[in-house]
Structure 1
């Protein structure tokens, strides 16, 4: 039995014992029923550790059962990234802990980072992560070594925000030339030139840079940042895992593509969106959700002070077609997030409260405290109705080594979101096997 089949078997056993339907579980996981069904059949694998964790809790799994499920997912994910290569693993693997990785050249293999639940965590709620850290420590001191062995076997992924500080703000992860990449980043995307006419076709978020190249996964690790040279600003003591293809409720999103409906394949699941969008040379239509998981790399804590929005270029939206990934889906959760209006002269990251089944989720707020044991997730929802925008985020931080700015973008290239005014909108008709208006 393969690693993916073993993971799917454990999911089915937990689901059957809990007596929950696919629809009920999908709502609790904030994903679509078809996606969950594919997980349980072994046809797809969750791209995030957080999905596995939520599934185990929703099914009432014991601590030992949750560890078995987490271990099976880690093995299946490592096998997916490593292909047919053998992955040596000790007999017992506790819950993995994100650890710094050795510096290496970026590769094009997709990698999925083990992260906690994707919701922003202010200082007052840091106890949740401390409790999880205590469970991990109790599981055994070999977790870090096992996680490094598995990720090293799979290889690091490509693309990372560059560690270049902006003037007067210290070192961050930006697009400055001559700097090295920090530990984690999202996928790369070529930015179009700033002009007033329709833009040249550009690989979407998630592309590896050249047309037709294998697209990267939403989250990828890369080499650790280099030590600061004397007289230079300090290197950001943070790891940032960036996901730029996040769909509402795991199923609702739209892309712009210049291709006709007859040449566009069926919509993918969310985990496969970067590859699908890269192949169609598509860009985010109307809205884009970006999730950034951050944690410290040293012994001390890092304080996140503010999030600033940078719009590098505004162009006329391209006259392309809109392709809806799902025609009607949703869940009971609206995560708290930072909302960004890209059409504003000076866009701001505005905190917005969320909702979970009628219970209000507090709006995210700065300052936030993060460390190696206490990560935080920032969710940014950008929208535009009038421009084809290139944009990025600057996260200001203060730590034991000083202060600076961490650039959040597409591995050195800006994020790209375009309005789609009056454009043809297509949805996929499953019964007909084609795109239809």
Structure 2
């Protein structure tokens, strides 16, 4: 099996396992359906690895599978270049040449989509860099390609739970911040060489003087590791089980009322819901307390809602934590309608015993001495939704995005239309309708 055939086989296996159509994948890769067909059939090879990287992410490839796909592409690209004249050869197709095709298939939502990675001005992601030695001939070129892959390491993936990375102008956005909450993570990009940059040859030394050390044609120059980015200057504490007035909330659970214990107090709700495999029913309130970790202030710029999955609500029972409660305080919040095609975090004013509480508004300032609490109320009447929040920030050291989720997993809120509703009777010690 040739290098190109092996690369096409890996792409087909990932596509079949991911369950996405060619049209849906083509839209996510910003290419045409026919071009993607040629990639998976071995009739064409992507001009750059960026489209392959997006393909692996969209299909849910593991880190090991992404590395195997990268290696296969490098070997196939080295073989193609070794047997082709300078310039694009047969079987090479770029996204700019093919362009996206219009497709009538419905959009497919990929659960767990990684955060968008920003590129610094004038730079390109490291995986777009090409070593000139890849143009070597024959089997030697393939060996060099594998060496480059081993030196560069696996492709950048979506950050794990608790990882903090910056995305902007500061040097090195990607270092884990001390004390970061496991429920918040960021996105980053490392600076790289500018597209189209040409290298100026070194001037010849004076006659008789020492010249630069010669490099054997078959040797590969060392590939420098991307510079480390600064730690994000924020620390977040996320509460995903907040009840209205401390008592009013409802959960969905597939268990019958005889198998569900008495409702807990709000502080014990996370453990209770986890034991019952319960899901927030109809509404979920999330509170995020933010502290600065450095001497300076951080500016919070915007809060964006990211829905990563929509399903039909499960046919489970609804368990109400209280038969009714309330208070004189209605906090100001960011309201989110998860049923909207593109949900927004909409500022809503509150009320304290008749006095209006102003709606929250960006930008906000946060520091070590001045924490900020964000309260988000998400509702749904039609879907079982996976969602998260992206908080954009900026500071003198750089800028970035902070991912707010449920301890590294998406937040989950489900509608409960027409489901049986149970309340707990304390004097009888059981759930009843």
TM-score by length of 2: 0.51
Q: Aligned residue for 1:295?
A: 291
Shift in CA distance, 312/185, structure 1 to aligned 2, threshold 3 Å: same
Q: Distance in 1 between matches of 2:169 and 2:416?
A: 38
Shift of 1:410: 1.4
* 1:244 partnered with 2:245: no
SS at match of 1:185: coil
Q: Aligned residue for 1:358?
A: 354
Q: Tell me if structure 2 keeps the 8 A contact 1:337–1:378.
A: yes
Q: Aligned residue for 2:418?
A: 422
Q: Distance in 1 between matches of 2:312 and 2:288?
A: 28
Q: Tell me if structure 2 keeps the 8 A contact 1:428–1:434.
A: yes
Q: Aligned residue for 1:431?
A: 427
Q: Distance in 2 between matches of 1:282 and 1:169?
A: 41
Q: Aligned residue for 1:318?
A: 314
Q: Aligned residue for 1:14?
A: none
* 1:185 partnered with 2:181: yes
Moved over 6 A (4+): 166-173
Counterpart selection for 2:331 from 313, 330, 335: 335
1:116-155 deviation per Cα after TM superposition (whole angstroms, max 9, x unaligned)? xxxxxxxxxxxxxxxxxxxxxxxxxxxxxxxxxxxxxxxx
Q: Distance in 1 between matches of 2:272 and 2:349?
A: 31
Q: Aligned residue for 1:284?
A: 280
Shift of 1:316: 0.6
Shift in CA distance, 425/186, structure 1 to aligned 2, threshold 3 Å: farther
Q: What does residue range 128-167 of structure 1 map to in structure 2 within 5 Å?
A: 161-164=162-165
Shift of 1:390: 0.5
1:168-211 deviation per Cα after TM superposition (whole angstroms, max 9, x unaligned)? 999989xxxxx7476243669xxxxxxxxxxxxxxxxxxxxxxx
Q: Aligned residue for 2:386?
A: 390
Q: Distance in 2 between matches of 1:169 and 1:387?
A: 40
Shift of 1:161: 3.3
Where do 5+ consecutive residues of structure 2 fail to align? 1-159, 185-224
Shift of 1:232: 4.5
SS at match of 2:375: strand
Q: Tell me if structure 2 keeps the 8 A contact 1:160–1:181.
A: no
Larger radius of gyration: 2
Shift of 1:234: 3.4
1:386-415 deviation per Cα after TM superposition (whole angstroms, max 9, x unaligned)? 111110000000012100000001122111
Compute the RMSD of aligned alpha carbons. 2.5
Q: Aligned residue for 1:79?
A: none
SS at match of 1:276: helix
Q: Distance in 2 between matches of 1:167 and 1:255?
A: 40
1:76-134 deviation per Cα after TM superposition (whole angstroms, max 9, x unaligned)? xxxxxxxxxxxxxxxxxxxxxxxxxxxxxxxxxxxxxxxxxxxxxxxxxxxxxxxxxxx
Shift of 1:432: 1.1
Q: Distance in 2 between matches of 1:339 and 1:315?
A: 21
Q: What does residue range 39-118 of structure 1 map to in structure 2 within 5 Å?
A: none
Shift of 1:254: 0.4
Shift of 1:278: 0.6
Q: Tell me if structure 1 keeps the 8 A contact 2:333–2:347.
A: yes
SS at match of 1:308: strand
Q: Distance in 1 between matches of 2:173 and 2:418?
A: 39
TM-score by length of 1: 0.51
Q: Distance in 2 between matches of 1:234 and 1:392?
A: 24
Where do 5+ consecutive residues of structure 1 fail to align? 1-158, 174-178, 189-228
1:357-387 deviation per Cα after TM superposition (whole angstroms, max 9, x unaligned)? 0000000000000100000000000011111
Shift of 1:236: 1.4
Counterpart selection for 1:404 from 372, 378, 400: 400
Q: Aligned residue for 2:134?
A: none
Q: Aligned residue for 1:27?
A: none
Shift in CA distance, 187/295, structure 1 to aligned 2, threshold 3 Å: closer
Q: Tell me if structure 2 keeps the 8 A contact 1:337–1:351.
A: yes
Q: Distance in 2 between matches of 1:255 and 1:182?
A: 34
SS at match of 2:318: strand
How many residue pairs align between the two structures?
234
Q: Distance in 2 between matches of 1:316 and 1:275?
A: 25
Q: Aligned residue for 1:231?
A: 227
1:217-256 deviation per Cα after TM superposition (whole angstroms, max 9, x unaligned)? xxxxxxxxxxxx9634433100100000000000000000
